[in-house]
Amino acid sequence: MYREQEARRQIVSDLQDLASKTLDVATGLLRIVETMYESDGADLKSLYEDVRRLDSEVYSIQKTLINEVMRYKPFIGDQTYIFYNLIVLIGDVVDEMDGAAFRLSHLDVSSLAKWELEWIRKVVNALHREVEAFREAIYFLAYNISSVYPAVERIIEIEEEIDLLHRKALVEVFNRERSSSKMLMWMEIIKMLESAADGMKKVGDVILSLCIL
């Protein structure tokens, strides 16, 4: 039992580092969107390089964590797959955010109307709050299990908020945008953001499963 507790404590400690880096990626994405919305976006590619660097750091932590989980497998038993699945899902979320950040900073999104950018801005702001709730859930996983549940509930609530924003945005874009190329560009970006939000909800479900073991 002692070795199991020590192994779990070490894995959760490294998950906290992963969660912090994931939030840094979300913050970088938010900076890109805010820069686009409030200025001419001249330094977007520079901002994306920061996101890309963070993405690489996330990948490095992922590899370390997976090796760690495999090493502790004799002590954590059935939790091995749960931790592995959690690590992979977090990586998927980061990949979606990185993909959206790349498109926002490299494609000709300046051609999008202000109201189209506003929808993206709303979704990214909500996604950032969702990732903040995820980081809190991971933090409490080590110190206060009872506080994990409210944090995961916030993840679920924000994901539902993003889903609603997405639906409302789709209606407006289809009604107002006459350029098919702009519409496709917008839809690809917003879909990646929604996928990141969906992935974070799955992450929350896996975190809950760790609370009952």
Q: What is the pLDDT of residues 105-147, one digit of tens each?
A: 888 777 788 899 999 999 999 999 999 999 999 999 988 889 9
Residue 2 has pLDDT above 60, yes or no: no
Residue 43 has pLDDT above 90, yes or no: no
Tell me the whole-structure pTM to 2 decimals. 0.94
Cβ within 8 Å of residue 92, ≥6 positions away: 199
Cβ within 8 Å of residue 10, ≥6 positions away: 68, 72
* Rounded-to-integer distance, Cα 34 and Cα 113, Å: 15
- One-letter amino acid of 135: R
> Which tokens hold the place of 187?
């839809």
For 9, 17, 80, 83, 165, the CA distances from 25, given in Å and listed in that order, are 25, 13, 26, 21, 21
Only one residue has tokens 């002692």, namely: 2
Share of the chain above pLDDT 90, in %: 75
Contact of 8 with 71, CB cutoff 8 Å: no
Cβ within 8 Å of residue 58, ≥6 positions away: 18, 21, 22, 25, 90, 91, 94
pLDDT category of residue 42 using cuts at 50, 70 and 90: low
* Rounded-to-integer distance, Cα 75 and Cα 70, Å: 10
Say what the pLDDT of residue 1 is: 58
The helix (run of H) or strand (run of E) holding residue 124 is helix 114-143
Domains and CATH numbers, the chain: 2-211 (1.20.58.220)
